[in-house]
Structure 1
Amino acid sequence: MSRDIRTVIDGLTFTECPRWHDGRLWFVDFYTARVLSVTEDGGDLRTEAEVEQQPSGLGWLPDGRLLVVSQRDQRILRREADGTLATHADLSHVVSSQLNDMVVDTTGRAWVGNFGFDLMGGAAIATTALHRVDPDGSVHLAASDLWFPNGSVVTGGGKTLLVDETLGNRVSAFDIADDGGLGRRRTWASFGPVPTETAQEKALAELSVAPDGCTLDAEGCLWIADALGGRALRVREGGEIVDEVSPGTGVFACGLGGSDGRTLYLCAAPDFLEHNRRAAREGALLATTVEVPAA
């Protein structure tokens, strides 16, 4: 379907993790180390936090305090009422690579992934783990053997976790137990086989879809950013692609929001390579209108 795509804000480095919260769109800009928010149409740009070691995933505790991933020092930070940042959880003892995206459920439990290898350094790809951080800041192994766990959502009344595996050609689902433990694992959507090569360039060439950031709609479909395909895909459980938005540039995350929940925000940039993005200001937030609102 052809759609009008508009620019919400541009002149950024590399945007990620769009979240609609309290009537504003929140997101991060990697290489200016900022958590930002804007109004629905891109006005009133605010710096909500500065995270020196590179911000990533965002979420909120039940009392309204912001949680933000600090990628390079493997911490989750908590913004207190006075605006200061405190360490909510330190994962450096269990994770050796950069932390990645995060989802926080309504009880304040956070699930956070990590790269598993040196992506920007060109290292061979490898599986890694997903960790759960409880509201008290304690860290627990949630799942292992994931291919670059990335964008995630909690659905099914808080009983199911969906995790994009960017280098696995798939979205995996887990049952969530009452204590937050993850049970039965299954493939929610598959776009092709797991790559057989471990060399980065060869492995990336084997991907049909590289599912990155994602967002859930009211019909239970996922809008998924395809990190290698320059598009956002609307996917049903089972893997059927039922809609697509292609803005003519790279798309690395997406989020539903706006006053009626029907604005699909896209985090866009020419590519994801740090050496290209850090010094440039070619990142942007784009938006288009979709039929089915946010879950």
Structure 2
Amino acid sequence: MAMEPKSSSRDATVVLDGFSYLECPRWRDGRLWVSDFYTHQVVATDARGGTEVVAEVPGQPAGLGFLPDGRALIASMRDHRILVRDGSGRLGVHADLSGAASGMLNDMVVDHRGRAYVGNFGFDLMGGAPLRYTTLARVDADGTVTTVAEDLGFPNGMVILPDGVLVVAETFAGRLTAFDIDEDGGLGNRRVWAQFCPTPRTDDVGRAVEELDVAPDGLCADAAGALWVADALHGRVLRVREGGEILEEIATGTGVFACMLGGDDGRTLFLCTAPSFAEHERRAAREAELRAVRVDVAHDGLP
């Protein structure tokens, strides 16, 4: 189980504001790419005020990643597709996950070979359906879709560590789960990387929320082998060591749902914040912010 967190006095600054609900930030070639769910836009920023809408995704954008040739992959949540954006900004369909995902597509990580690991909700969270565990899919560079893991409690943020280990946040299980990535892209040696609290044994989402001491959402890795983890229910990001020790806590004073290390030296931690995650509260509001805080250890791994 997780140890008591060590509180931090680091100050975050607002980089951008006026968005609906930001998720899945990715640092790439001097800019941060981020999905804004309910404006259906993917936005890139230089973190100094410059912004560009790099994609319009009617099906609602989520997970982001990049193929080895630099083209961007974008998870289109509601139509279960992975889109590919070419150098001119045109979007095409890279893969259709309709037969592999039981809920809206969620976060995604892309490896150095162009293989994308994609999670999904597993149930209608925003519609009030009972909690259901679900699968993780792999999309190969040619668009082939394969189910590579099952029985995951809302697979969310993912990282690939330099040693080839995939770590997946299971939000409703209160844990981070690790897999070894095989040469062919399969996943093996499943184990718990960090267990923050007992896993709720209920299909009632409200009850599960009450039982979760940490609800891990977006993730990123640093060069010391630790992970920064957005805690979707408690307004904080946690720096966590394998085994569950919490090395540092940064409170945000509002909800925080994803994080990414970037900047010129890899030591700027970008935070996607909003007052809540509920769609009916976020869709018409423009209260989401991208914030940034300086940390001590630089980025490593993927994304």
Partner letter of residue 210 of structure 2?
A
1:117 to 111, 117, 123: 123
Q: Which deviates the most, 191-200 or 101-110? A: 191-200
1:19 to 18, 26, 40: 26
Cα shift at 1:4:
1.3
- Aligned partner of 2:89 in structure 1 is 83
Would you say the 8 A contact 2:102–2:134 is kept in 1? Answer: no
Cα shift at 1:133:
0.4
The yes-or-no answer on 1:56 pairing with 2:62 is yes
Would you say the 8 A contact 2:155–2:171 is kept in 1? Answer: yes
Cα shift at 1:96:
2.9
Partner letter of residue 25 of structure 1?
L
Identity %: 58
2:235 to 217, 230, 233: 230
- Aligned partner of 1:33 in structure 2 is 40
SS at match of 1:167: helix
CA distance in 2, matches of 1:111, 1:58: 11
Cα shift at 1:155:
1.0
CA distance in 2, matches of 1:14, 1:279: 10
1:162 to 162, 167, 175: 167
- What do the CA deviations read for 1:229-264 (whole angstroms, capped 9, x no partner)? 110000000000000111100000000000111100
1:206 to 193, 207, 211: 211
Q: Which has the higher contact order (CA 8 A, sep 6+)?
A: 2
Cα shift at 1:81:
2.5
- Aligned partner of 2:10 in structure 1 is 3
Partner letter of residue 77 of structure 1?
L
The alignment yields a C-alpha RMSD, in angstroms, of: 0.7
Cα shift at 1:156:
3.4
- Aligned partner of 2:5 in structure 1 is none
CA distance in 2, matches of 1:198, 1:28: 29
2:297 to 285, 292, 295: 292
CA distance in 2, matches of 1:116, 1:221: 28
Cα shift at 1:82:
2.4
CA distance in 2, matches of 1:200, 1:186: 24
CA distance in 2, matches of 1:151, 1:94: 18
- Aligned partner of 2:50 in structure 1 is 44
- What do the CA deviations read for 1:165-201 (whole angstroms, capped 9, x no partner)? 0001100000111000001100000011110121110
- Aligned partner of 1:99 in structure 2 is 105
Q: TM-score, normalised by structure 1?
A: 0.98
SS at match of 2:225: coil
Q: TM-score, normalised by structure 2?
A: 0.96
- Aligned partner of 2:3 in structure 1 is none
- Aligned partner of 2:149 in structure 1 is 143
Partner letter of residue 243 of structure 2?
G
Give runs of ≥4 in structure 1 deviating > 6 Å. Answer: none
